[in-house]
Amino acid sequence: MKNFSGTPGTVLGLILRMSQFIFATGSIASIATTPSFFYYTSFCFLIASMALQIIWSFVLALLDAYALLKKKVLLNPVLISLFVVGDWVTATISLAAASASAGLTVLYFHDMGHCHFGEECQKYQISVAFAFMSWISISISSLIMLWLIAAGWQTRLLGPDPLYHFYPL
């Protein structure tokens, strides 16, 4: 497997995990301070998915920080496979929850005109924006993990440098 930016145990990997954690925390904090979020199923789903995102990102951020302190890059194929599956699952759930909450926000508060409380509507919109930012950072991380696992399979199947076989000196 190759070592490039964003892999587990690098500074960019830690930054991506911390941004996922911060945006998911901001989303929950924004929506949980409204008095009536529990009346809407998609907002409850958003809180549940962001809570999963917080737990996943925090654990992997701790693992990245530990690897940075020990100056090791985590390139174990089994560990990378676990990261790929976990990132894709949390990314899919986060996108579904953010999209459902965004749809509900647009439907109720813009199309139907049920937004009588200005601050509450703004908090819902801020929460959805934070959820999408969290999803963007987890999707970047999941694509890096997928790229990393694909690079590992290429090295196993073709050898360290496949172009060397086609262009000898």
In a domain, 6, yes or no: no
pLDDT score at 6: 77
Average pLDDT over residues 156-163: 53
The fraction of the chain above a pLDDT of 70, given in percent, is: 85
* Domain carrying residue 80: 11-165
In a domain, 1, yes or no: no
In a domain, 58, yes or no: yes
Cβ(87)–Cβ(138) below 8 Å? yes
Average pLDDT over residues 21-28: 97
In what helix (H) or strand (E) does residue 97 lie, and over which residues does it extend? helix 77-106
Look up the pTM and report it.
0.84
In what helix (H) or strand (E) does residue 156 lie, and over which residues does it extend? helix 118-158
48 Cβ partners below 8 Å, 6+ apart? 97
pLDDT score at 166: 46
Count up the domains in the chain and report the number. Answer: 1
Confidence of residue 78 (pLDDT cuts 50, 70, 90): confident
Average pLDDT over residues 19-43: 93
